[in-house]
Amino acid sequence: METLTDEQLVAICLEGKTEAFAVLVKRYEKQVYSLAYRLCHDYDEASDLAQDAFIHIYQVLAKFSNDRKFFPWMYRIAHNVCINSLNKKKQQLLSFDESIEVKEDSNTRAHQPEVKAVADETYGSIMAAMDSLPENYRLPVILRYTENLSYQEIADILQVPVSTVETRLFRGRKLLQKKLASLMERRDEKWTVKQ
C-alpha cells in the first residue's frame, strides 16, 4: 500500500479498508504536526491538534473529489481544524517552528555560551517577526519556505489564484525583511553594549 498514490489510498479507504488511511496518516503526520506546532507552539497541544485534524479528515473523506490533489485538500482541512480549536480556547496563534539550529559540532564555536546566546536571540527575533506578520502573509510564507510547497499547491490550500499567492509572498517577504532588519539592529546594539 505504501506505493499507492494518495488518491488511490482514499478510494481504498472509502471501500472500508481503514489501513489505507493509516498509510496516509503516516505519510503526512510530520507536516500536520508541524503545522499544529507552528500555530500553538506547544508540543503536547500540537500532538492533540494533529490527532483532531486526522480524525476530522477521516470523517469528511467521502467529500474528497479525486479530480483534486489530496495533500492541499487535507492540509487546508488540518489548518482549519487547528485554527478553530485554538480559537475556541482563545489562545494566541503562533506560526513559525524552529527553523534555525545551531549545529552541535565539537569543531565549531557552537558550544561557546555567547554563540549559543546569539543563536537563541536570533531565533527569537525571527519568531517575533514571523508572529507579527498578518495572517494573509504569514501562512503563504510558512507554506513556501518551511513546507517548500509550490505556488500552485499554496494556491490550492488557500483557495486563491496563484497571482494572489505571488503577491502575498512578495509583500510578506518585504514585511519580514523590514521587521528582521529592525530586530537585528536592536540585537547588535545590545550585544555591542554588553561586550
The CATH number covering residue 182 comes to 1.10.10.10
Q: What is the pLDDT of residues 35-87, one digit of tens each?
A: 888 888 888 889 999 999 999 999 999 999 888 889 999 999 999 898 888 77
Three-state DSSP state, 195: coil
Q: How many domains, the chain? A: 2
* Interatomic CA distance for residues 64 and 72, integer angstroms: 11
Cβ-contact 175, 169 below 8 angstroms: no
pLDDT at 133: 83
Return the percentage of the chain with pLDDT > 70, whole number: 73
The answer on pLDDT for 10 being more than 90 is yes
Domain end point (choices 94, 111, 146): 94
**Whether 106 and 84 share a structural domain:** no
**Whether 80 and 129 share a structural domain:** no
pLDDT at 178: 83
Answer with the residue of higher pLDDT: 91 or 36: 36
CATH code of the domain in which 64 resides: 1.10.1740.10
**Whether 66 and 85 share a structural domain:** yes
Domain end point (choices 28, 63, 94): 94
> What does each C-alpha distance from 90 to 40, 83, 86, 93, 188 come to in angstroms?
11, 10, 6, 9, 35
**Closest residue by Cα to residue 76 from 156, 10, 162:** 156
Q: Which residues of 55-85 are buried (b: 16+ CB within 10 A; e: fewer)?
A: ebbeeebeebeeeebbbbbbbebbbebbeeb
- Which residues, other chains included, contact 154 with Cβ-Cβ below 8 Å and sequence gap of 6+? 140, 143, 144, 165
The answer on pLDDT for 168 being more than 60 is yes
**Whether 26 and 39 share a structural domain:** yes
**Whether 40 and 84 share a structural domain:** yes
Determine the structural domain holding residue 67 and report its residue range. 1-94
Place of cell 500532538: 47
Cα torsion angle, 184, 37, 85, 45, sign = negative
**Whether 104 and 66 share a structural domain:** no
Looking at residues 96-106, what average pLDDT do you find?
42
**Whether 111 and 179 share a structural domain:** yes
C-alpha cell at 15: 471501500
**Whether 86 and 109 share a structural domain:** no
**Whether 176 and 87 share a structural domain:** no
Q: What is the pTM of this model?
A: 0.60
The answer on pLDDT for 163 being more than 80 is yes
**Whether 103 and 184 share a structural domain:** yes
Domain end point (choices 94, 125, 160): 94
DSSP class of residue 93 equals P
**Whether 23 and 65 share a structural domain:** yes
Looking at residues 100-123, what average pLDDT do you find?
55
**Whether 115 and 76 share a structural domain:** no
pLDDT at 176: 84
pLDDT at 115: 59
